[in-house]
Amino acid sequence: MRIGVVSDTHNNLQNVKRIVEVFNDAAVDRIIHTGDITQPKTVNALADVNAPLYGVFGNNDQGELPGLQVTMELHGFHFIQPPMQLNWAGRQILVIHDPLELNGYSPSNFDVIIHGHTHLETVRQEESCLIFNPGESAGTIEGGNAVGILDLLAMRPEVVRF
């Protein structure tokens, strides 16, 4: 199973269009957004993905939360306040927005922890757990636009720059 990972889109609709293309071309099975979508128009732009979309809300989503929730429901997306725990392909996955939300969670209880918020790429092992953040996709860091593709069976993360 291959999952797409995206974070911190912050209403950059041009980048969201490219993100949809990257994930559709890669034929990912599911997509995780780690938060900071910020407005319903960005959710509408994500509606063209060919895979189910799951995720958590970030700190910059809170002001638009009612509109985001309605738009997510309209498109059949599955978003909650962090943390989100998933079991896909036999892997225990924890999805958070801010890595400070890890307080109280031990990496030893998960195969993968996926986060955003920092806008910085993170690919590291902690105990037997992969910690993964492909970085940002909002265009705020010059040349830093990226998403991730994670092969859950091989436990192989890939950062895709665009």
Question: Strands of 84-88's sheet, edge to edge?
Answer: 84-88, 91-95, 112-114, 129-133, 122-126
Provide the pLDDT for residue 140. 84
Provide the pLDDT for residue 102. 87
Provide the pLDDT for residue 104. 85
pTM assigned to the model: 0.96
Amino acid at 102: L
Q: How many domains does the chain have?
A: 1
Ranges of the chain whose pLDDT falls below 50: none
Tracing tokens 């890890």 back to the chain, one arrives at: 102
Range of the domain at 109: 2-161
Provide the pLDDT for residue 79. 98
**Residue 121 is part of a domain; what is its CATH number?**
3.60.21.10
Provide the pLDDT for residue 94. 98
Other residues' Cβ atoms within 10 Å of the Cβ of residue 102:
17
Do 137 and 6 contact (CB within 8 A), yes or no? yes
